[in-house]
Amino acid sequence: MNCIELDEGMNHTAVLAPTIQQLLKGVSIKVSDLGAISVSSGPGSYTGLRVGCATAKAMAYSLNIPILAIPTLTSLADAVFVKFPEAEWALPMLDARRNEVYTSLFDRNMKQVVPVSSVILDEESLMDLIPETGKVVSCGDGAFKLKNMAARFPNLILSLEIQSSATHLIMPALRKLSTGEFSDPMNFVPNYLKPPNITQQRKLL
């Protein structure tokens, strides 16, 4: 398996297409050999989702192949159960603004028990999210915000090394591929969950 991980901040537009070309060249695959394209469908960074999904849609449409849209939190939950097969619950979290996260709760059958939502983290909100029994594993960059509260929940484990990655899309995408659960490139829309955080430029005096 070949994977290229980049940390380019807001430079998605400039680096994504050349990186895809580099990755395909590294495994001796032509674009025309692709049978489907998997993409993280959100929630997440507005710019990252916009550029990533627009690129996936353009490629899928031009090649006349389907999109395998994988919710970001689903891919993280899947990674939890791969690493922690004894876990009863997965609680992936994505960093939003300030003390806020995007999150959802999954059982070990990958059933979404709590729908995807934006949550302001405090002890009360965590009590609503974390089941009283069964091992709960939280991951993703939003899970860092639980460090000061985790000790209050003895059945909670923080797996901070599990972060968003294209590698976590593979197994969910293969399952969708086997069941024919495709998205139409023309109609596919990512789940932004929130509008972009736009800061207005200050007026010069």
Share of the chain above pLDDT 90, in %: 84
Beta bridge pairs of residue 158: 138
Pick from 1-15, 40-54, 59-73: least confident: 1-15
pLDDT band at 197 (very low <50, low <70, confident <90, very high): low
pLDDT band at 205 (very low <50, low <70, confident <90, very high): very low
Q: What is the pLDDT of residues 85-139, one digit of tens each?
A: 999 999 999 999 889 999 999 999 999 999 999 999 999 999 999 999 999 999 9
**CA torsion through residues 63, 65, 66, 69, sign:** negative
Ranges of each domain in the chain: 73-159
- Answer yes or no: CATH 3.30.420.40 is held by domain 73-159: yes
For 53-124, list the strands marked E by DSSP. Answer: 67-70, 89-95, 100-107, 112-120
Beta bridge pairs of residue 155: none
What average pLDDT score do residues 143-148 get? 95
For the chain, list the strands marked E by DSSP. Answer: 37-40, 67-70, 89-95, 100-107, 112-120, 136-139, 156-159
Instruction: Using the predicted structure, report yes or no on whether residue 202 has a pLDDT greater than 70.
Output: no
Other beta carbons within 10 Å of 58: 13
